[in-house]
Every structure is written in structure tokens, then in C-alpha cells.
Amino acid sequence: MKIVTMYPKRMRQSFNWKVEEPELLVYAVNIADLWLDRELKEKGYITADHLNKACGILSEEIMHSMLCELSVPHVRTVPLLSKEHPVNAGKPYDIKIEDSTIDIKAIAPLPPPSGHHCNLNAKKGEIDKYGKCDFYICSKCYPELPAEERPKPENRKVSKKWALEILRKVERVQFLGYATASELIKEKNLVRTKKPFYSLHPPFHSMDEFAKRFNIHLT
């Protein structure tokens, strides 16, 4: 009888993740779709697209899965529900370990107009409305894809289908490092676009340092 050895998707001694779960990708895109539908209904506009929102949800779910695998006690908010829902209300974080709140920021595999980057970005309006976290983790989906792969969808349903097609090309999610709130939220880091955001260039504190800070044993 052939014995099949199953290896964990988390890359050894790291927080990085080899993406081999198509169900997880479908989940992330569907939750993003629900989130954007709700935001459009409540606000009359949306603040992200399917791909960027799905990448954020994917990174949150991967971090949660890894903390469970590593037996790290933590609490989390529920991405299926809005930030105003009683389950999430008053919780600006994605993950909370001990008394430390953590927001996970994801970078999609397609570049913005400025090109590919590894910056840690956080929306000013979101921080002003919901409050800041203690730590911000930067994650990125790889490989980096050419901008030419971005179509011009005619409607949001096409956009959802397209987001899933792009996510299926993602091979790994890397957690590039983290910064404290005081390091990220500075006037010099503020990018004054129509929707201002804080942007911090690498290098960041390493994820090894993050593991040591919270006594996480990376196997």
C-alpha cells in the first residue's frame, strides 16, 4: 500500500504559506463579494475591489490558521460581518494576541499604477473611524503578475470571476514583517491622495522578531 505523506502548507520555520487550497481562494472571493455588496448598499460606494479585498481576507485566514496550527491563543474578528456588527464593533483589529491588537495588510499580485511594491499601507480614514492597532503586519501574494492581466470588467460579477482567476495564480503568501502603530502612523508617511493612506517602506521588523515577541515557536 502506498503511503502518502502530507506536509503542512506553512513553510517550515516561517509564517509564509504555500497556497494549495482552491476552496480557500473561493471562500476569500465570496466573502469579499458579500462585503462589497454590503458596503455598496450601506454607503452607496465601495472602497476596494474584489481582488484587493479577497487578498486581505486570504491573508487573515492564513494567519488565523497558522496560529491555530502553532497552538497560539488568540481572538479574531469575523470578516464575513461588517465592522459595525455587534460581533466586530469596537474591535479595529483582525487578530488579537494577549493584549496586543494586530491588523493584517495584504498586497495583491497585480500592481497599482505606481508599480509593484512591498510597502505597508493603511487607510487613514479607517484608522480615524475605527481606531489604530498596536501592530500592522505586511503580507504579499506572489508571484508578481504583469499589469496587463488586469481586464476592464463591465460589471461587478465579471470582477468577481476575474478576481478568482487571478487568485488561482497565487503560489504563496509571504508575511514580510510588521511595524508598530507609532512607526506607521506618522505625518511623513501620509500619502495625500483622494483617500489618504499611511505608507511605510521596508525594511520592517521581521516575522522572527514577531514570533519572539509573542513566544511563538516556529517549527
Looking at the chain, the whole-number percentage of residues with pLDDT higher than 90 is: 76
The pLDDT of residue 3 is above 50: no
Q: Cα separations (Å) of 64 from 53, 54, 154?
A: 17, 15, 34
Please state the rounded mean pLDDT for residues 13-37: 92
In this predicted structure, the answer to whether residue 2 has a pLDDT above a threshold of 60 is no
pTM: 0.91
Q: Can you give the residue ranges of every domain in the chain?
A: 17-143+154-213
**What pLDDT sits at residue 106?**
97
Q: What residues are paired with 102 via a beta bridge?
A: 95, 135
User: In the predicted model, what is the mean pLDDT of the chain?
Assistant: 91
